[in-house]
Structure 1
Amino acid sequence: MKGTRAEDGMKGTRATRVVLFLLFVLLCCTKAASGFKENEFKTCAKSSFCQRLRSVPPEHKYVIESLEADDSGAVRGKVSVVDEDAEDETLHKDIDFALLAYESGVLRLKVSQPGRFEVPEVLLDDLKQVPLTSQSKASAQEIFQFQNSLVVVTLSPMKVEVYGDKSKITTPTVVFNENSLFNFERQVKPGENGSSEWAETFLSHSDTRKNGPMGLSIDVHFPGANHVFGIPERATRFSLPPTKEVHANGEKVLHEPYRLYNLDVFEYLHDHPFGLYGSIPFLTAKKVGSTTGAFWLNAAEMYVDIWKTDKGTSTQWVSESGIVDLFFFIGPEPKDVARQYSSMTGGTQMPQLFSLGYHQCRWNYKDEEDVATVDSNFDHFGIPCDVIWLDIEHTDGKRYMTWDKAHFPTPENMQNSLAEKGRKMVAIVDPHIKKDDSYHIFKEAQGKSYFVRNKDGTDFDGWCWPGSSMYLDMLNPEIRKWWATKFVPEVFKGSTESLYIWNDMNEPSVFNGPEITMHKDNLHYNDIEHRDVHNIYGYLYHMATAEGLVYRGDKSLAKPSDRAFVLSRAFFSGSQRVGPVWTGDNTADWNHLKVSIPMCLTLGVSGLTFSGADVGGFFGNPNSELLTRWYQLGIFYPFFRAHAHIDTKRREPWLFEESVMSNIRSAIQLRYNLMPYIYTLFHMAHKDGAPVMRPIWYEFPEQEDTFSSEDAFLFGPSLLVSPVLEEGAKAVNVLFPGKDLWYDLFGDKVYDAEKTPRVPMPVTMESIPVHVRGGSIIPRRMRPRRNTEAMKKDPFTIVVALDKNQEARGSFYLDDGSSFDFQQKRKFLSSTFVFKNYRLENDVYHNALYFTNEFTKVEKIIVRGLKRKVGKVDGNMTKIKDFSCTQEGGTWTLVIKKPDLSLTENWSLKL
């Protein structure tokens, strides 16, 4: 039905096309309202490559030959395909094998063939390789070492075992081809063996598959591990359930393998293995004593099976095309795996400070007056907000980077009015470009032949919100650079420096295409088929858009201005270097509130920590209880945005009764109080890939009962968040991990995890349980403000939560919050707080700020958990007179007011 709509719409009279288009829109709206339709999407059973390769041992044996080290220390050789039934007859030797090692402790395994597509733009340019040195060599096996790791390569049949600690040779950390499921379908030249036999049809769509079978299967085993996490995006459990059971007498399929194929999925289900808008082919395996990661750099459609035995967890990954480019992150700690992955694909982009505040969005704020009213109400009701968003209705007929002149006649004035208050605006820019000769973006791109092509070489024409649309070929670097130039104000008329961008529908979404996306045999740069690049299309579009914002104002793209903020729905590995993502079109119900936690945790441990879910749910109308609980959880999403569908009731906080608005306001204010801590967490993510919203096992890797936990999480290393996830809940069962003390953030109670690891905690509508980890020091700013810009000169409150040894540590990071000077000119402030032997110190690591001390004053210091009363405080830089020490239960709390200290200076206080 969808296919014929598009074809018929291109025929007949103009009036007929209009009628058909209106019918098309109606059908799309009906589809959206009816929710997820599984039959519109492929499964393994409907994908020939998955059927050929899933759980099927190869017909032939793969043998590694002639391993030799090259000048860089990489080990290279050839893979022979041997027919054992024909007395070891070698069929062909055109498959290349390579092992490479890196300084960060990463092993890379490549199995490739000339002519196959290799994914660009994901790995960092300056990877630091280290040599693999031969330790022993035999006819059947060779052993290599790099750093403290050993790599055992079995030649026939091919197998690679990685030992993270060479002193523990008994058990490998990870094994490639343990179950002998590696398979590499040999690429065939176009026309060879008759290409017509390879065509494949799904619903009304045909895929020519001109190169024939090019599928790949890899087999990765994690010895001893019972939990695996990652391979987003999908709404399912954090610890991924197995897809099948494997027994001595056969297999039992439990559910579909996990699919990685970026798709526009309306109203996705809250507990389903189906793949959604983005793909990161990265898996983390966890056991007591070890954390390991595996990443397959491949952007084609992929399926992943998981099964568990008494030997550990095994996985089979099946891809339609490309090469095997597999990375092993040896750990052994979760923090090591995060650092190693970021060393290959990059850390999180250091965000602008405003982007960590609260974002208000709906489809759609209808005009400039509506925007002004929303803006003024935030101030009137004392609710902080940094950004107001515009969805697709603000444009002139869905021509992106234009304005509806009737409803948005003075967009610069609108943005400037927000900017005067320190607020920003975000406008949507989707990848489908309206086919209209009067639209300057379309006209120029068509003239330069910049669009994705059909298999016959003509421009691809698909349907999306504007109707007939074209899609830029973002695989081409020239086109990405051209697109980036479109964000300068003289081209993007009506834009200002306080306008930022939202990329939606960039999977890409094509309403009349197969699975609501682009045909796999469409052609990109250098005649690469879309099947090879599908999962990076949205990432490349996101990257080019962000480049445009970084260099807007400079047509030469040579001089960066401020950091970009571009939200994307589609993503791939490397997206963390570009900007945030969100979990897409969720629903206003308790199940979607609950599943948002494992979805965001999964993104975080897969390297993409700047993420969040639509607070309140995109579809539907939350009642006041659900909305309040969602805000109380949402303030701990790394990306914090409320968003709603055009057909929902308006739900800005002031539209609810006073008590509801008050609780929502308190939650949002807490987010802003914690902003110094949050900004510091993002700097950690920028440096070494540490997730902001992290699973409990990230900080407590030896506590096995936390491995499957998904109803609570850590916000950074220091805050334990236990949200209310059930309607009408009167209590939450809080798990206190480790042997630490945990301090109630909102009260004076202290809990000893060693004595009471689980506590049923009563809850009211005012807040959710949040606890500060003993041994932490957290910087805060406590004065209520309208946004982050208004907070920049506010003084700091330092909160010290002591552990059982009367010690604590914490970090602090600050820069100007917007420019690249923290990198290019090293203009930032970084320090460490240490409390030990009843002395609190601020140790400045680096201080090269624009700011004077007035930006970094300390107005209060709070020390909780003291075992004795403090009667005197001596400072090395100031006299401390205004302090009090009161007893809370069995411990004491010290409050120092106006200590006359600055975070730009080294100082110490002796209690």
Structure 2
Amino acid sequence: MKFTNGYWLTRPGVEALYARSPYELSVGPDGRSIDVLATTRVVTGRADTLNLPTFRIHATSPAEGIIQVQATHWKGTRTCPGFPVHEQDPDSGFVKASAQGAGDGEVGEDGASVTLTSGNLSLTMTKGPVFDMAFACEGKELTHARGKSLARFALAPDAAVSTQPVGEFGVAPTARAYDESPVFTAIQLGLSVGERVYGFGERFGPYLKNGQSIDIWNEDGGTASEQGYKDIPFYMTSKGYGVLVNNRGHVSFEVATENTETVQFSVPGEVLDFYLIAGPNPERILERYTALVGRPAKVPAWSYGLWLTTSFTTKYDEKTVTSMIDGMAQRHIPLSVFHYDCYWMREFHWTDFQWDRRFFPDIEGTLGRLHREKGLHVCAWINPYIGQESALFDQAADKGYLVRKPNGDIWQTDLWQAGMGLVDFTNPDACKWFKEHVKHLLKQGVDAIKTDFGERIPADVVWFDGSDPASMHNWYTQLYNQTVFKAIEEVYGKGQACLYARSATVGGQQQPVHWGGDCESTFNGMAQTLRAGLSLVSSGFGFWSHDIGGFEGARPDPAVYKRWIAFGLLSSHSRLHGSTVYRVPWLFDEEDQRRGVVNPPEQTAVSVLRKFTRLKISMMPYLYQVGLGAHERGVPVMRSMFMEFPDERTALDCDRQYMLGPSLLVAPVFSYTGDVEYYLPKGVWTDWFTGRQVDCRQSGQWMHEKHGFDTVPLWVRDGTVLVTRQGQESTEYAYGTDSTVSVFLAHDGRTSATVTEEDGSSLVFQAERSGSTVTITSSDGREFTGCLGMGEGKPSRNGRLVLSAD
């Protein structure tokens, strides 16, 4: 949200009040916080303190390497709640505050300062005629708020300032900022020359956020817009720090826009609260950030396999479902999960948790057969709305479980399901009631729940617990997903719960998995989806998926579908889903045949899906280990090039490729011709499919290639020990038994890999190269020795040693 008109003026109807001068500096009585009273003009004598507005700035540290800053103009006003955080023991000694030449009030001289130190991070505020707040890491400045940076903006009713979210579920139906709040508080944090900004949750525009205006307000806007399903008021920069704005409501960011030298963020009201998180690198920032707001739960091994859905508006029954599942098995395509989308319930009755008995007369028997005979897990779709035709509507209304208007009426809308109401998850009894319905579904044989929607939350309602409606718009999704996730954990246990959620806010990463929403079935839709995924995982989310082939449109072009398969199966989670057409591969081969397109056997949709599904299954020892890293440390499974190579200038802007864990580089193909351009960072890289090596030790290298549908740029990083197992039909197997250990080591030295089973037991494979000989030792006492170029009688490829670890 922009309040100024150029550098010197404010917009019409906007009155600005800036923190001009730190006046009183003090250290908190506990020695772990600092306080500053900042005046809005320079005080030269006592008379200047009359009629003088001030800001109170309080800084403390909830955890090592993190500093929280709260800036308040009027403290008697109602403020939007912040996010639940995990604080460290204050007696652990990671934080201290100190003063240098600081006194009380006008006694302190210019140049006096107070400093709060937390681990390697410090915040210093200096007294003087200019507002001066600086953050540093190990003595090196990260960012600052200097001069006209901290401000309170008062708006006239006709102020020339707008809020971007509009409409029935927007911040202000008129799009006038005044109608959201007559007062906003903002701060600008400085950017260095060349500093890049990333994050903000799931954003479908460029991954590099410099030059963008971003509103944190969840919307159901598709993937070709500036709106997002998972808006997160968190960003990190190439300078080595992250920022979380601690506000559940509408947060507006101007990323090098209103002021090209800063990131500005503003919130309605008189109080601004944010955390600054030190790195020095993206991985360390995310470790600290997720320790603060929560890390992803461990996901079950079966969830990594291929998911197939009924798609959205298709007509289906048990016969249809069985034909799809059997069709996959007949074509030797391993399937892990079958998902029932919306129409497992009767139309107009969503969500009533009742199977439509016209099409599923014996659902318990059906689900039992899918488990026993097909070896599948099952997912079912729900949303937090209840149509008024559902018997649950009257029940929920009578018990007070639906959100109400200020006049006491139940809030209803015809958008989606006729006359539907919204479950009030601020009511503990409503949560218990909803959980019991979810548990009934699970006990029927459902293993996972797709929690759709959660973005269209009205602002003109009354909540059971009295929550501010503006704060509930984004926060609602967390209460919704949390309720369902707890139900699954209570039935199946921790580590076995899995959601498939569309909406989220800060904290949502604790309830994986999330998918990328309703994308277009085009190469542009595919690229938008990847950009959004990279932004989301740069915002603390460890696991992410998307609709292979795209969602919107009758049927994607077979070329788009096949290119998306490689991208989808080389993601943390993989689902075939669409709108009006089943996403089974043989339909796309039939489409090619109708068009007269002749594909070689290995280039058909069936063959491509089979190949990449089996490739992912074979890599489960690696992928499951990387997933544990997301759970234990907050480091995502998929990573942008910036996250993995923050010191490489060229890698900072790459948003059409990514790392799958620390060792695999993937560059999806976004063209009909198969042409692809991507960047290999410094190091030695081995092509997974051909064994070709590229030596980039002197400098990174741009690659230009053409790929068939059955390959994709997939490179293994030097220093990798990759454990795989071929020929498996499921993602659930013993990862350290009967596997292949591949060593990628271009020079003499040591490297290792850990393989952890789902029961928690683990093996470590240590590899050492000396000349052309490589020795692998496992932690259970086995040792293997071979020469580069030969392993277990099999010729290796360009320095890749392959040894069977039985």
Is the 8 Å Cα contact of residues 78 and 97 (structure 1) preserved in structure 2? yes
Matching of residues 872-891 of structure 1 within 5 Å: 883-884=792-793, 886=795, 888=797, 891=798
- Residues 1:548 and 2:493 are matched in the alignment: no
The answer as to 2:243 corresponding to 1:294 is yes
**Counterpart check, 1:391 vs 2:341:** yes
What secondary structure sits across from 2:653 in the alignment?
coil
- Aligned-partner Cα distance in 1 for 2:799–2:134: 54
Superposed counterparts of 1:37-436, under 5 Å: 58-61=16-19, 65=24, 67-71=26-30, 73-76=32-35, 87-91=48-52, 97-112=57-72, 113-119=75-81, 122-124=84-86, 130-138=94-102, 139=108, 140=110, 141-154=113-126, 158-166=131-139, 168=140, 172-175=141-144, 177-178=145-146, 180-184=148-152, 205=173, 213-243=182-212, 257-265=213-221, 267-269=222-224, 272=225, 274-286=226-238, 290-307=239-256, 313-321=261-269, 323-361=271-309, 362-363=311-312, 364=314, 366-396=316-346, 397-420=349-372, 421-436=374-389
In structure 2, the CA distance between the partners of 1:802 and 1:590, relative to structure 1 (3 Å rule), is same
Q: CA 1:496–1:223 in structure 2 vs 1: closer, same or farther (change >3 Å)?
A: same
Please tell me whether the aligned partners of residues 301 and 731 of structure 2 are also in contact (alpha carbons under 8 angstroms). Answer: yes
Task: Give, in whole Å, the separation in 2 of the partners of 1:125 and 1:562.
Answer: 24
8 Å contact from structure 2 (residues 253, 266) kept in 1: yes
Task: Please identify, of 133-142 and 529-538, the stretch whose mean Cα deviation from structure 2 is larger.
Answer: 133-142
Partner of 2:595: none
From 630, 638, 644, the counterpart of 2:572 = 638
Distance 1:830 1:78 in 2: 57
Identity of aligned residues (%): 20
TM-score, with length taken from structure 2: 0.85
1:654 matched to 2:586: yes
Deviations 1:768-807 (A, max 9, x none): 111111100112121131x324677963222111133344
Q: Once the two structures are superposed, what CA deviation does each residue of 1:677-701 show, in whole Å capped at 9, x if it has no partner?
A: 1111111111111121112232322
Structure 1 residues 627 and 344, CA gap change in structure 2 (3 angstroms): same
Give the whole-Å Cα distance in 2 for the aligned partners of 1:54 and 1:715: 49
State the 1:752 CA deviation: 0.5
Q: Displacement, 1:115? A: 4.9
Structure 1 residues 72 and 551, CA gap change in structure 2 (3 angstroms): farther
Deviation at 1:390, TM superposition (A): 1.4
Alignment match, 1:532: 471
Q: Does 1:690 align with 2:632?
A: no
Q: How many residues align?
A: 754
Give deviations 1:169-225, integer Å, cap 9, x for gaps: xxx1122x33524234689xxxxx99xxx9999678579989952422121223344
Q: For 1:680-829, what aligned pairs fall within 5 Å after superposition?
A: 680-729=625-674, 731-738=675-682, 740-754=683-697, 757-785=701-729, 787-789=730-732, 795-816=738-759, 827-829=760-762
**Matched AA of 2:640:** P
Kindly provide the amino acid, as one letter, of the partner of residue 377 in structure 2.
K
RMSD: 3.6
| Equivalent of 2:394 in 443, 456, 477 | 443
- One-letter amino acid of the counterpart of residue 124, structure 2: V
SS in 1 for 2:435: helix
Q: Any stretches of 5+ residues in structure 1 without a counterpart?
A: 1-42, 46-50, 188-192, 244-256, 510-516, 554-559, 817-826, 845-856, 871-881, 901-911
SS at match of 1:797: strand
3-state SS of the aligned residue for 1:682?
helix
**Distance change >3 Å, CA 505–CA 772, structure 1 → 2:** same
Describe the shift of the 1:471–1:599 C-alpha distance in structure 2 as closer, same or farther (beyond 3 A). Answer: same
1:411 maps to a residue whose letter is: I
CA distance in 1, matches of 2:464, 2:82: 12
Residue 628 (structure 1) shift: 0.6
- What secondary structure sits across from 1:835 in the alignment? strand
Change (3 A) 1:767 1:869: closer
CA contact (8 A) 1:63 1:79 kept: yes
Q: Answer yes or no: is the 8 Å Cα contact 1:422–1:790 preserved in 2.
A: no
The amino acid of 1:123's aligned partner reads V
Deviates further, 178-187 or 390-399: 178-187
SS in 2 for 1:811: strand
Q: Which amino acid aligns with 1:666?
A: K
Normalised TM-score (structure 1):
0.76
What is the one-letter code of the residue matched to 1:463?
Answer: D
Report if aligned partners of 1:291, 1:331 keep a CA contact under 8 Å in 2: yes
Offset from partner CA, 1:798-846 (integer Å, 9 cap, x none): 2111133344332322223xxxxxxxxxx443635343544323347xx
Gaps of 5+ in 2: 4-8, 103-107, 590-600
Give the drift of 1:585. Answer: 0.9
Q: 1:431 to 1:894 in 2, by over 3 A?
A: closer
Letter in 2 for 1:655: L
Structure 1 CA distance for aligned equivalents of residues 175 and 223 of structure 2: 26
**Residue 803 of structure 2 aligns with which residue?**
896
- Residues 238-264 of structure 1: CA distance to partner in whole angstroms, max 9, x if unpaired? 112414xxxxxxxxxxxxx21221111
Alignment CA distance shift 1:60-1:638 (3 Å) = same
1:588 matched to 2:560: no
The equivalent position to 1:597 in structure 2, one of 515, 527, 530, is 530
Distance 1:895 1:392, change over 3 A: closer
Q: CA deviation at 1:753?
A: 1.1
SS of corresponding position for 1:884: coil
Q: Distance in 2 between matches of 1:627 and 1:119?
A: 43
Q: Is the 8 A contact 2:15 2:153 kept in 1?
A: no
CA-CA distance at 1:887 after TM superposition: 6.7
- Separation in structure 1 between the aligned mates of residue 175 and residue 526 of structure 2, nearest angstrom: 38
Deviation at 1:308, TM superposition (A): 7.6
- Secondary structure of residue in 1 paired with 2:256: strand
> How far apart are the structure 1 equivalents of 2:401 and 2:627?
36
1:608 deviation in Å? 1.1
Instruction: Note if contact 2:166-2:174 (Cα within 8 Å) is conserved in structure 1.
Output: yes
CA distances 1:366-422 after superposition (whole Å, capped 9, x unpaired)? 112211111212211111111111122111332331111101222212221121133
Q: CA deviation digits over 1:325-357, x for unaligned, max 9?
A: 211111111211111111111222211111111
Change in Cα spacing, 1:831 to 1:478, as seen in structure 2 (3 Å) is: farther
Matched, 1:566 2:499: yes
